[in-house]
């Protein structure tokens, strides 16, 4: 159950950033890796979005990621954006997240 809450957040975030295509993912990865300003702006939007999720979802994410409730938005966004910028998240990870499944890569990213 805890993983499901985290996966829902990953799905919503990745779908918003990349769409559901390899081209969208590749484009997002290149832009994030090349532009600190874009990465900063994406981080701000991500934190705002995660902060607006329900307390129950953030508590589940906190438990899964082993961080305090107040650190969930910033930690989640730093980890996911970092993985996107570094090219560690692949299209297969996004596809699995859309299906509600967690790949080992996404689990490692969220766990830090």
pLDDT band at 32 (very low <50, low <70, confident <90, very high): confident
> Residue 38 pLDDT > 90, yes or no?
no
Are 75 and 112 in contact, with CB atoms under 8 Å apart?
A: yes
pTM equals 0.81
Mean pLDDT of 89-99: 81
Q: How far is CA 62 from CA 51, 70, 85, 99, in A?
A: 12, 9, 23, 22
pLDDT band at 94 (very low <50, low <70, confident <90, very high): confident
The pair of three-digit structure tokens given for residue 63, joined into one six-digit string: 């438990």
């Amino acid at each position: 159950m805890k993983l499901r809450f985290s996966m829902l957040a990953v799905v919503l975030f990745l779908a918003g950033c990349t769409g559901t295509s390899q081209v969208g993912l590749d484009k997002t990865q290149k832009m994030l890796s090349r532009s600190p300003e874009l990465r900063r702006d994406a981080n701000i939007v991500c934190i705002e979005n995660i902060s607006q999720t329900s307390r129950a979802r953030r508590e589940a994410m906190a438990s899964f990621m082993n961080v305090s409730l107040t650190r969930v938005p910033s930690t989640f966004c730093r980890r996911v954006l970092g993985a996107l910028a570094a090219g560690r998240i692949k299209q297969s990870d996004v596809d699995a997240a859309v299906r509600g499944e967690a790949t080992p890569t996404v689990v490692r990213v969220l766990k830090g």
